[in-house]
Amino acid sequence: MTLHKAGYSLLIKLLLFFIVVNIVLFFAVGSLIVRYAAIAVSAVLYLGAVNFFRFPKRRITLDNDTILAPADGKIVVIEETEENEYFHDRRMQVSIFMNILNVHINWFPVNGVIRCFRYHKGKFLKAYLPKSSTDNERTTIVIECPNGQSVLMRQIAGAVAKRIVSYAPVGGEARQYRHAGFIKFGSRVDLFLPLDTDIKIALGEKTTGSQTVIGYLKPISNR
Active-site residue list: 187
For 180, half-sphere exposure in the C-beta direction (CA atoms, 13 angstrom radius) is 34
> Taking the alpha carbons of 10, 16, 20, 21 in that order, is the dihedral positive or negative?
positive
How crowded is residue 83: how many other Cβ atoms within 10 Å of its Cβ? 19
Question: CA nearest 191: which of 79, 104, 116?
Answer: 79
150 residue type, one letter: S
Beta strand residue intervals within 51-209, DSSP E = 66-68, 73-83, 89-98, 105-107, 112-120, 138-144, 150-157, 164-166, 173-174, 179-183, 187-193, 198-199, 206-207
d(CA 79, CA 177): 27
